[in-house]
A = this chain, B = another copy of it.
Amino acid sequence: MKRRGGGRGKRDELRRARGIVTLEDVARAAGVHYSTVSRALDPSKVWRVNAVTRKHVEAVARRMGYQRDMVASGLKRGRTHTVAVVVADLGNPFIAPVLRGIANRLESAGLMSLIGETQDESKRLARILDHLLSRRVDAIILTAARLSDGPALRRISRKGVPVVLAVRDVPGIRMPSCTNDELLGGRLAAEHLIGLGHRRLAQLRGPRDVSPTVERAQGFSKAVAAARAVEIVVRSTATTPTPDEGRRLMRLLLDGRQPPPTAVFAHHDLMALGAMALTVERGLSCPDQVSIMGFHDLPQVDRVTPPLTTVREPSEELGRIAAEMTLAILGSPDQSPASRRLPPTLVVRESTAAPPGQRPAVLDPIGETVRKST
């Protein structure tokens, strides 16, 4: 039986009421076959149709307000023009610019971003990834990978969906990635503090089991060791980086059996702020008695007292680049996975200074140094 043409049933009425115009409707109105309409409207196929018919079809289509149904198209073509962006925590201020970079770049390529939040729970990650597979997204940009997520990633990779790692890497996996150079970030922090004359340092780590934390920590520790300075380690438990967490770790440091450090490097500005708050509550002055620095250069941290020394990462650009890598893969699927690392910069403000009883030391020996006030 023929499905097309002829009398329109109540189904058609319904569709029309919802304002949905199909290829067939346009074809009927234009007096051509619907495949011709399809071609006339597809830039990559227009050459199959005569210029004058094309003009005509285009006019009719525009007049009727035709819009290609991306769902049907997606089913047929196997391309949904959708990329999923998976983040750990939408509440974390530093993820916003990344998201923005991604969404804007993708949109300018005609793709849209589906977003999912894992809260750093493996269960949720797994559920979300399954969901995304089921939706046949064209690719996944994963900013929420934990070091232990390797197996899950391999599983999904085997399903044939391209995955691009952003922000967080997971070593030993064959996937393109775009991350900050956290090793350098940690080193910049350490060398800044050491350059000021500090010899007893500590770091407040971020969430465990994610690459930025371990790399940043490693970069810091190595630089401290290289300078023959002392690092006081504080056992960090897995959690999200909040001011409260910063307080907690700082308390451990101040109440520990070892004499407290004169300089503290927090892996997240929020933790640094918490640590700072606790420090002044204890009657200690920052930076006179304890130098504290953070990470990420969140908005407004230049406005707290004292303005926070921190390390800035090019978040929006990172997002943009991750999106671009994704587009590249969609363009030519089987290239070997590239890997980009973006360099962070040190932002010196006033929460760090020479240790008590010591004159200000030499300038920073390495790294680009930025003095920023807005």
28 A–B contacts, CB within 8 A, in A order: A19-B159, A20-B160, A67-B130, A67-B133, A67-B134, A70-B134, A70-B136, A71-B71, A71-B75, A71-B80, A71-B135, A71-B136, A90-B96, A90-B103, A91-B96, A96-B96, A104-B117, A112-B114, A112-B116, A113-B114, A115-B115, A244-B374, A270-B299, A270-B300, A299-B300, A300-B304, A303-B304, A304-B305
Q: For A80, list chain B residues within 8 Å (CB).
A: 71
CB of A300 to closest CB in B, whole Å: 5
- Could you tell me the distance between the alpha carbons of A75 and B128 in the complex, rounded to whole angstroms? 22
Given contacts A97-B91, A100-B91, A160-B17, contact A71 B68 (CB under 8 A): no
Task: From B71, B244, B270, B277, give the contact of A74 (CB < 8 A).
Answer: B71
- Could you tell me the distance between the alpha carbons of A342 and B305 in the complex, rounded to whole angstroms? 33
CB of A259 to closest CB in B, whole Å: 28
- The interface size of chain A toward B, counting residues with CB under 8 Å, comes to 53
Q: For A8, list chain B residues within 8 Å (CB).
A: none
- Copies of this chain, complex-wide, total 2
Q: Does A23 contact B (CB under 8 A)?
A: no
Task: From B17, B93, B243, B277, give the contact of A93 (CB < 8 A).
Answer: B93
With A17-B160, A71-B74 already in contact, 15 other A-B pairs whose C-beta atoms are closer than 8 Å = A18-B160, A19-B160, A70-B135, A71-B71, A71-B80, A71-B136, A82-B114, A90-B99, A91-B97, A96-B96, A112-B115, A114-B114, A277-B303, A303-B305, A305-B305
